[in-house]
């Protein structure tokens, strides 16, 4: 079955439409530091406003543990949404209480309200199905239709994502529709050559996606903290670098499978090491097989791919027609260890075909390093959800919208 889209809902003029968005943005002292997820909701919200729907936006933010917590309030997000939409956005100070009911009752055609953080209610994330369903029933009383557009949560069986979509007529918004279309292209008949770039701290976080994409990719590039487990699997000493010893045999298996299937597995040939996890620490560039031979010695801590690796990765990316990248190449938050991530991002902007940044830290990295969203084919809004999709897993928030 195909994903139900907005068209399937017919005219929404005058109807109360709940939009389950993903507005889980980073906040510092109540200020949004990256509004990418807020911007990603705009096409769906503007389409509903244009139709004359009465729009009720709901989302989670952070992990407030089922109780109200001011530092996780969606109020700054509602204010930002108002600025981006160029119109007032009402804000309800609860999820399904008196404030929410009053805000919804006051809506006229084309108006927008945001209700407070869904995770202030324990029913949103409850493992108990009855508790979760009860909260979804309360949410359903606010609206007549659900538009699910929070791709970052479709891998979770939560009240607003899964149960609410069973209670109300429901469909995917434009963001989920686009995410599914792009990620499907990465798993089903991608245009070749197809390169997968994986980084981030742990191999164990990426086991499923490596296993699923290994037979489908032409090249797999491995950087970030996870690279040291691959280097250890080659017999190299990695100093105090992040190492998952229990994954070395698994990694050796992947290396053998890649060779057997003719997939080019490109591993780092050099790295940037430091004496400590600090931007001010002594550091050195070294070949991958000589990490403990620098003046730093056995305490060397690998924090980025080296310049030769950056160049090799960039060449592989630029000559590809389809590229999927998930996970930074180093500790990009610190300037001395950002060069590898920047080189990969820049190469993605120069790839001739479909370039996909796989959400999470990768999305944060490209924005922090000064790249614009439109320089890439697609920036996913869901790190965990996009990885699970690419692992071939069933995602409850998509299945409930008809996706098989």
* Residues placed in the known binding site for ATP: 206, 302, 333, 359-362
Is 202 known to be catalytic?
Answer: yes
Q: In three state form, how does the secondary structure of the chain look?
A: CCCCEHHHHCCCCCCEEEEECCCCCCEECCEECCCHHHHHCHHHHHHHHHHCCEEEEECCCCCCCCCCCHHHCCHHHHHHHHHHHCCCCEECCCCCCHHHHHHHHCCCCCCEEECCCHHHCCCCCCCCHHHHHHHHHHHHCCCCEEEECCHHHCCCCCHHHHHHHHHCCEEECHHHHHHHHHHHHHHCCCCCCEEEEECCCCCHHHHHHHHHHCCCCCEEEECCCCHHHHHHHCCCCCCCCCCCHHHHHHHHHHHHHHHHHCCEEECCCEEEEECCCCCCCCEEEEEHHHHHHCCCHHHCEEEEECHHHHHHHHHHHHCCCEEEEECCCCCCCCHHHCHHHHHHHHHHHHCCCEEEECCHHHHHHHHHCCCCHHHCCEECCCHHHHHHHHCCCCCHHHHCCCCC
Name the binding residues for substrate. Answer: 22-24, 37, 60-63, 119, 156
- Out of 202, 237, 252, 308, pick the active-site residue: 202
Kindly name the residue from 66, 384, 393, 402 that is annotated as catalytic.
384
Asked if 384 is an active-site residue, the reply is: yes
What does the block give as tokens for 150?
């929070």
**CA-to-CA distance for 215 and 148, rounded, in angstroms?**
32
Out of 340, 360, 382, 397, the active site residue is 360
- State the catalytic residue, choosing from 20, 37, 157, 342: 37
- 37 catalytic? Reply is yes
**Calpha distance 95→59 (Å, rounded):** 10
10 Å Cβ neighbour count for 39? 14
183 near 196, Cβ under 8 Å?
no
Cβ(267)–Cβ(288) below 8 Å: yes
Record the tokens describing residue 288, joined without a space: 């991958």
Angstrom distance (rounded) from CA 382 to CA 388:
10
Show binding-site residues: 22-24, 37, 60-63, 119, 156, 206, 302, 333, 359-362
Tokens of 18: 């709940």
Query: In this structure, what token pair is assigned to residue 212?
Result: 């699923």
Q: Token digits for 347?
A: 């190469």
Indicate which residues carry an active-site annotation. Answer: 37, 202, 360, 384
């Amino acid at each position: 079955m195909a994903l139900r889209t907005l068209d399937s809902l017919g005219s929404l003029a005058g109807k109360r439409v709940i939009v389950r968005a993903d507005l889980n943005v980073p906040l510092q002292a109540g200020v949004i530091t990256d509004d990418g997820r807020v911007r990603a909701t705009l096409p769906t919200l503007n389409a509903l406003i244009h139709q004359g729907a009465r729009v009720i936006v709901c989302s989670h933010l952070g992990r407030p543990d089922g109780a109200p917590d001011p530092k996780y309030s969606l109020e700054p997000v509602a204010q930002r949404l108002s600025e981006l939409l160029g119109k007032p956005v009402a804000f309800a100070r609860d999820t399904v209480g008196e404030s929410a009911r009053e805000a919804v009752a006051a809506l006229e055609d084309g108006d927008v309200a945001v209700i407070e953080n869904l995770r202030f209610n324990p029913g949103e994330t409850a493992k108990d199905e009855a508790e979760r369903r009860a909260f979804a029933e309360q949410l359903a009383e606010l609206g007549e239709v659900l538009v699910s557009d929070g791709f970052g949560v479709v891998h979770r069986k939560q009240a607003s994502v899964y149960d609410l979509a069973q209670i109300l007529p429901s469909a995917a918004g434009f963001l989920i529709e686009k995410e599914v279309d792009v990620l499907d292209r990465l798993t089903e008949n991608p245009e070749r050559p197809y390169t997968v770039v994986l980084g981030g701290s742990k191999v164990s976080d990426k086991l499923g996606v490596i296993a699923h994409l290994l037979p489908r990719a032409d090249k797999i590039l491995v950087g970030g903290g996870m690279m040291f487990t691959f280097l250890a699997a080659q017999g190299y000493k990695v100093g105090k670098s992040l190492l998952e010893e229990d994954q070395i045999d698994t990694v050796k298996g992947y290396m053998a499978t890649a060779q057997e299937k003719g997939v080019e597995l490109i591993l780092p040939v050099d790295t940037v090491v430091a004496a400590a996890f600090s931007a001010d620490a002594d550091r050195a560039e070294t070949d991958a097989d000589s990490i403990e031979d620098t003046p730093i010695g056995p305490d060397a801590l690998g924090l980025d791919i080296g310049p030769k690796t950056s160049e090799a990765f960039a060449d592989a990316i630029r000559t590809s027609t389809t590229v999927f990248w998930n996970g930074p190449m180093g500790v990009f938050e610190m300037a001395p260890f950002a060069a590898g991530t920047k080189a990969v991002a820049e190469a993605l902007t120069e790839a001739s075909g479909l370039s996909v940044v796989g959400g999470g830290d990768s999305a944060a990295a490209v924005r922090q390093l000064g790249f614009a969203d439109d320089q890439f084919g697609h920036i996913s809004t869901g790190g965990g959800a996009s990885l699970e999709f690419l692992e071939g897993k069933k995602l409850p928030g998509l299945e409930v919208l008809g996706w098989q």
